[in-house]
Every structure is written in C-alpha cells, then in structure tokens.
Structure 1
Amino acid sequence: MTGTKIKKYILDNRDDLINKIMDEQEFLLPQEMNRYNSNMMEKVRSDTSSNLNYLAQALAVGEKNIFVNYYSWLYTVLKERGIGIEVLKKHLKAIKNVLYSEFTQKDFNLIKNYLNSAEKEIQNPENHYQSFINENNYLQEKAKIYLNFIINMERERAVKLILDLVDQGTAVDDIYLNIFQQVQYEIGRLWQLNQISIAQEHYATSVTQLAMAQLYPKIFSSYKKGKKVLTGCIGDELHELGVRMVADLLELAGWDTIHLGSNTPPAEILKLLVEKEIDLLAISLTLPDKLELAQDLITKINENTKLSGLKIIVGGRVFLENNNLWQKIGADAFAADAKEAVKVADSLL
C-alpha cells in the first residue's frame, strides 16, 4: 500500500482499531487500566484516536516528524500530569501489536518505523522548559509583564501596556512579533507543562485579540499598494490568531486584506478568490488532518484559469515542524511568522 492507502485504512477502521488497542492495553497495563474511572477511560480512547489520526496523516504525506513531534508533545503533557514514560511506551506497543495483524509485513515495517521513532524521541525528549520569550527580544521585559497580566486575568492593564508602547513610538509590527506572538507561544507551553488552565489559555487569547483590535486605527490607516490578499483557516481549523496577525501586518504593509478567520469551507474560499480578484491567498494549518483539504483546494485553484496569477502562502505549526511539506501540497511559499509572511508576499507579487 501507499502511505495514502494506509491512512485511508486506518481512518476508515479507526473505531474498530481503537477497541482492539484498548483491549491490548488492558493486557499490557492491567493495573493502570483497572484503576481508571469512566472519564479517564474516555480520555484514553480520545488519545488513542488522536494517535491513530496523527500516524495516518504522517504516513499519507511521508513526513515522520508529524507523528514524532506530536507524540513528544503528548509525552510532555502527560508527564506533567503524572503519567510516566512506561505507559506511553506500552501504548505504542499496543498500537504495534494491533496494526501488525492488520497489514502486510512490508506495510507494517513502514508503520513500525514511525512508531519506533516516536518511542526513541520520548526517551530523549526535546527540552520543552525553555521559554518562548527569548533573551534577544528587546521587548522581553514588556512581554513578561504582559504575560503576567493576561495569566492573572488583568485585561485592562494588559491592553494599557500595549497602548502605552504605541504612544511611546514602538512599531506595531514589533509589538505583534515580540509580544503577541511570543506570549501566545508561551501560553501554549505553560498549558503543556500544566502550569495554567485551559480557561487561562482561552482568556489569554481573547485579551490578545482585544489588544490587537485596539491597534486597528494605525493598521488600517496605512497606504495601499493595490494588491488584495485573502487570509484564513480552512475546514474546521479553529486556530486563527496566527493568520490574523499575518492579515494585520499585510494590511499595515499596504495590502488590501480580506480576513475570513477560522472554520471556512474551501468552496467558499475558492468562490471569493474569483469574485474579489484576489492576488494572494494566505492560509494557516495547525493540525495535519487539514492537509488533504488544503492540497485539494490548491489543486482546484491551479485548475481554475481565472486564478492563474494567484500566489499561495501557507503557515502554521504543521508546516513549521516539517520543512518541505508546503511544497508537497503545491503552495508557492511558506512563512514562519507574520513578519516573514509580509516579506514573502512582497517578493511573490
């Protein structure tokens, strides 16, 4: 089978595979599984489903790191919540034991290679304890203060800090890159390390969205260069703050932006690209399960003669962690952050 066919088999039979893996885990981890209540068992099922999904998506595009990086992230999340490495290693063994009986030896060897790489990674995990607010950031101290405000749900003080920086002459794009972006990454890291709650994480995002909105009078008063860009997330992708930053900095750089936000059907994107005579499409993907949607959208764009001059930039975590993935799905370019997106956009058109 090809990686795409393996993915289809895994996802088409996911419920049955989950049941078999759960049974195998009860054999490999009898004490732990017997100790779990119904809520914990549901979380185990959910994690197993996610593991199969990431494995399938990684196999489909031939990018092992999609699964390895996810499993390393999961290891840190569970470790900080009291679940040890042996549980995760035996979970991988349960997946291997079940998939061994589902595939030919050749196909299973490919799958096993991905699973073994994940096991190796969690035995020598990347250091997740280093802050994203780095020492080279000249706004480092302001970023730390802003982070403290939003973690403690002090919205007014957080927004005032940003407005004061603007009044003092700090460039808007510097605030976006050195405060908003680094703090949002840091918020995600702190949740991963079990140092803040989901409620705090969501609150932090909402405050940053509010603070960004306060800067719009400066962003939307910039000159215009006569180029249009459409930005957003496709399918049910909900992580839209990053691509919203891209839209704002492109607007600041003179582009006319149409930002669609999260959860946008590909058909609607395609329709707007034609109707509004868009020059550039910028889309963001955090999770790999939207890769097929993105690739299908790009294929349809390339087949549409009315969009022959359109350029496509992609970004988001899944591309950031897999260097050549943007080329595999047919995009024209990749940007690691909002500031780079502006440079790439200007170079393309």
Structure 2
Amino acid sequence: MPGTVQPGPGPIRIASNPIADRRGELARAVVAIQFERWPALYARYGEAGRERCVEDVGFHLLYLAEAVATDSPALFREYAAWVKVLFAGIGIPDGELGESLEILRDVVAARVDPATAERVRACVGEALAALPGLPREVPPFVRPDAPHGRLARSYMDALLAGDRRRAAALVTEQAAAGVRVSDLYLHVFQPALREIGRLWQTRAITVAHEHFATAATQAIMGQLYPAIFAAKRRGLSMVAACISGEQHEIGIRMVADFFEMAGWDSHYLGANTPVNSIVHAVRERDARILAVSATITAHVGRVAALIAAVRAELGERPPPVLVGGYPFNLVPDLWRTVGADAFAPGAAEAVAIAERLIAPAAPDRAAGAA
C-alpha cells in the first residue's frame, strides 16, 4: 500500500503506487486518445502542446493516485473542481474537461489490477457526477466586511504592485497601534494570500506575483517576531515541517508562530524536509508535538510514511502527530487514514488541539480532532 515504510536502517521509502509509478506511460496513453479523438487539438497546439498536455495529465494522475490509495473520492472531486475553475480562466469548455476525465478513467482502469480499477472508477465517477454543478469561479477571499478586511485589501494591493515596503508598513503600523499579531496572521496575511492564489488560478495574475507575495509576507512575518517571541516560555517543545516534496510552507510557519505565541518553543523546519531529518529533529528537540503540513493532495501518502517512520524510529515515546493542510480540510477523516493523532483546520485550532493531546487526563489522543 502507498505510504508504508520499509523496515530497517537507511532512508525511508514510500512503497509503490500502481498509478503514480506509471504516470508517464499512462499520461501519454491518455493524450494519444485525446489527440486522436480531437484532431483539432494537434492543429491548435502542435507537438509542444502535446507535451504540455502530457504534463497536465500527469498532474491529474498524481491526484487520482492519492485519492485511490486513500479510498477518498472526495479528494479527486475537489481536484476536478479546482481544474474546472482553472480551465474556465483559460477558455477551455467544461465538456472538454469531462471527456478528458472519462478517457483518463478508461485508460487507467484498463491498466491496473481489478481492485484498483474499481477505486479508479469510483473516484473519477464522483468527479464526473459533480462536475456540472461545480462552480466556474471561486468567491473572493478578501472582503471589506470581514475583520480587518480593508487592511487585507490594502496589503494585497501593495503586494500585487510589488511594493513590499508599503505592505510591511501597513502591518507594522497596525501592530504598533495594538492590533494583535494573531489577528494580523488570520485576517490579513491568510485571506490576502488565499486571494492571490485565487487570482493566479483564474489567470488574472502570474505565478511571479504569487511567489513575490509569499516571499514578502514571510519577510514581514519576521518583522513581527519580537512580539511573537515575547510570550513566557512553558518548557514545551514542538516540531513543525512540510513533508518531502511540499513547497507550500507559509501555512505551517504560521502554525509554528502560533505555538510560539502560546509559550511553546517551536522548531520550524520549513519546506520539503526529508523524513529522516524530521525524525531526527523530533528526537533531538524532545518534541511533545509534531505538526505536519501537506497542501498538495499528491503528498498525502508521504505524510502517512512520515507518521509510520516516527512511530517506528521513536519506539515507545513518539509524540502525537498533528496534521493539516488542504487535503485534510476536504476529507474529515483523512487524518485517521494517514495514522495521525489529530487534524487542525487552522493555526489557532492547532495550538488548542495540541494542548488537549498532551494533557495527562486526555482519555483519547484522537479527541483533539473533534
């Protein structure tokens, strides 16, 4: 099964996945049928376009592979919802997406074992059934009627204009005026970055805008650290990391900062952290909690592998593992599937759940997810 851990010393390896491992071959088979069925595609895109289609279908397959491995059709349905918005932004008709998913289903189901094929049909079938009713656009995340909504809008506008100094001044002035750092994180940084992600998804901005906004926000968060680290220390340690391959690190960094504001000593390892390095950090820092983030659905199996490694390597004293990120928000029980102790939908909730997980009287470690 995907996400299992090979025993013994040496690097942790994620076990074979029958779809992900063959995605290059499968993607080319899907695209060959697409170009045969729709001859206008080649006329429109040419050979370079064919290769781009292979790349795109490869991403579809990664998401399908994880949905199948975890038996979570909702994961692929929500991925199809994201793609529908993306395609609407570049003028691809909804019907073309539906037909592409049908081809994907038939190609993959014909090339895997019967049990996997059944799950493939279930996952793609749920996406196809939902597709007509899925929205073609996502509502804005920055709203003037939300807490600090006008500030969030001004902050986002400064980032999109490439004015990091203005963005920083907006935030630091509010912090000096008494606005809590936690509120700036939750009501300014978070909605602004989500809105910038939405604008990229609809092709209103480029990926360069998104990368600049993320980098600038991380730098501005650093300017708030004197306030973040001012809380009285409680002798509690935690490790926060993104799984190997995961580049979206700002969410887990916010989680680590919320632990700091609650008096914990956080050890934030950043993006794309190898499994063995995370295990070493947990042991070295005597962590009471390990917080792990996965934003990309295709990385869920790696979270399972990490949790298994932590339990195997740390023996009788593994800390509770708290997971979060986009795929865990989509599927309520996905955290149980990967073997975590709890799931937190946001940074503030992560601290509260962690406190319950380590409480001596806690009757059930998984109760933190309630």
Smaller-chain TM-score bracket: over 0.9
Counterpart of 2:140 in structure 1 is 131
Match of 1:82 among 72, 91, 103: 91
Amino acid at match of 2:336: Q
Counterpart of 1:328 in structure 2 is 337
Match of 1:68 among 44, 63, 77: 77
CA deviations over 1:294-317 (Å, ceiling 9, x no partner): 212212322345562511111111
Match of 2:210 among 201, 208, 213: 201
TM (norm. structure 1) is 0.93
Counterpart of 2:25 in structure 1 is 16
Alignment of 1:266 with 2:265, yes or no, is no
1:214–1:104 Cα change, 3 Å? closer
Structure 1 distance, partners of 2:148, 2:79, is 30
Structure 2 stretches lacking a partner, 5+ long: 5-15, 359-370
Alignment RMSD: 2.2
Structure 1 distance, partners of 2:218, 2:116, is 46
Q: Is the CA contact 2:287–2:319 (under 8 Å) kept in the aligned structure 1?
A: yes
Amino acid at match of 2:101: L
CA-CA distance at 1:41 after TM superposition: 2.1
Match of 2:308 among 291, 299, 307: 299
1:210–1:19 Cα change, 3 Å? same
SS in 1 for 2:18: helix
Structure 2 distance, partners of 1:12, 1:91, is 21
Structure 2 distance, partners of 1:229, 1:245, is 13
Amino acid at match of 1:245: M
TM (norm. structure 2) is 0.88
Alignment identity in percent? 31
CA-CA distance at 1:96 after TM superposition: 3.0
Match of 1:32 among 36, 41, 63: 41
CA deviations over 1:209-233 (Å, ceiling 9, x no partner): 1110110111112211110010111
Match of 2:65 among 52, 56, 73: 56
Counterpart of 1:347 in structure 2 is 356
Counterpart of 2:365 in structure 1 is none
Structure 2 distance, partners of 1:314, 1:320, is 10
Q: Is the CA contact 2:291–2:321 (under 8 Å) kept in the aligned structure 1?
A: yes
Instruction: Tell which deviates more after alignment, 310-319 or 14-23.
Output: 14-23
Amino acid at match of 2:293: S
Structure 1 stretches lacking a partner, 5+ long: none
Structure 1 distance, partners of 2:115, 2:315, is 44
Which runs of at least 4 in structure 1 moved beyond 6 Å after TM superposition?
A: 2-5
CA-CA distance at 1:127 after TM superposition: 6.0
Structure 1 distance, partners of 2:20, 2:346, is 32
Match of 2:296 among 279, 287, 293: 287
Q: Is the CA contact 1:71–1:122 (under 8 Å) kept in the aligned structure 2?
A: yes
SS in 2 for 1:9: coil
1:37–1:312 Cα change, 3 Å? same
Structure 1 distance, partners of 2:293, 2:99, is 34
Structure 1 distance, partners of 2:65, 2:50, is 23
How many residues align? The count is 348
Match of 1:211 among 220, 225, 247: 220
Amino acid at match of 2:52: K
CA-CA distance at 1:109 after TM superposition: 4.0
Instruction: Tell which deviates more after alignment, 116-125 or 50-59.
Output: 116-125
Alignment of 1:176 with 2:185, yes or no, is yes
Counterpart of 2:195 in structure 1 is 186
Q: Is the CA contact 1:29–1:87 (under 8 Å) kept in the aligned structure 2?
A: no
Structure 2 distance, partners of 1:4, 1:268, is 17
Structure 1 distance, partners of 2:221, 2:78, is 30
Amino acid at match of 1:143: A
CA-CA distance at 1:20 after TM superposition: 1.5
Counterpart of 2:128 in structure 1 is 119
Amino acid at match of 1:267: N
